[in-house]
Amino acid sequence: MAATICRSFAKKGHVGVLVSQVRFKFKTQRPRQQPVEQRVFKEITEPLYPDRQESPRSSCNDKHLQSLREVQQSQDQAGNIQARYEAFLLKQLRNLLETSGTILLCHQMPCTALRLNEIKVDLKLAGLKLSRVSNTQMRQLIKGTKLENLGNLLYSHTLMITSPKVVILEPMNILKKATELPLLGGFVGDRLVTKDMMIEYCNMPSLDQLLAELVASLNQVGGAKTLRLLSHHQEQLATNLQQYQSERSKSSS
């Protein structure tokens, strides 16, 4: 082939081209076999790959769908846990509202956790309980009940003070010192109260003072005379009974 090309170029007058033809044999030699131990070890340790029946595209799609299903299952499980936790909180809050005779709502002003814990301890020593409530859960529970009007006070950060008894002086004395918790209102006994009503009640005199004033008023309008008349009637009744008893004993004898 090379000689033919050279002759054609020579006839046409082209520049002579030096073409060399190399003929040799390739060195074909089989590699030396490895020892039996190495061949056995290589066969044992060689990984086994499963035969792919489906295309790589469908395999990637299946993995993507599987990952989506796993994410959906984890979200459903987290949602179930969250729903059970919210149901537990609603049950606790419902029990607290049903067993409380005094319910006071306060707004939490900015304060440290240490100061809030001090107020909580003071309330606990007075037989009261301070708890943080969710406005959404609170509105859900008081809807259609006698506490429904408290929903107008449920805004921003709300704290609730509760007691199984009907108490007013104890929480008001503590809240006077705790300026971080301004009182919004509440429900005492079977009556909806505001902050002004609570302050007015605290400014009222004690029961002993009211009794003393009542006794003084009765004395001024003739209470002493009424007392003397009552005593006279009692003495006269006793005298009449003694006389009747003596006459009956004489007649029987």
pLDDT reported for residue 26: 66
Separation of alpha carbons 232 and 238, rounded Å: 10
What pLDDT score does 240 carry? 84
How many CA atoms within 13 Å lie on the side-chain side of 124? 8
Beta-carbon neighbour count of residue 1 at 10 Å?
7
Q: Which contiguous run of DSSP H or E holds residue 107?
A: strand 102-107
pTM, rounded to two decimals: 0.53
**What is the Cα–Cα distance from 201 to 195, expressed in whole angstroms?**
10
CB atoms within 10 A of CB 192: 16
Provide the residue-wise pLDDT of the chain in tens; the chain has 253 residues. 555 665 665 565 544 445 555 566 666 777 788 888 888 898 888 888 776 666 666 666 677 777 777 877 777 777 777 788 788 888 888 888 888 888 899 988 888 989 999 999 999 998 899 988 888 888 888 888 888 888 888 888 889 999 888 888 888 889 888 888 898 888 888 888 888 888 888 888 777 887 888 777 777 666 566 667 777 777 888 888 888 888 888 777 6
CATH numeric code, 88-202: 3.30.70.1730
Q: Dig out the tokens for 136 from the structure.
A: 């959404």
**CA distance linking residue 163 with residue 101, whole number of Å:** 6
SS3 of residue 130 by DSSP: strand
For the chain, which residues make up each domain, given as ranges? 88-202
Helix (H, G, I), strand (E, B) or coil at 238: helix
Q: Cβ contacts of residue 4 below 8 Å, gap of 6+?
A: none
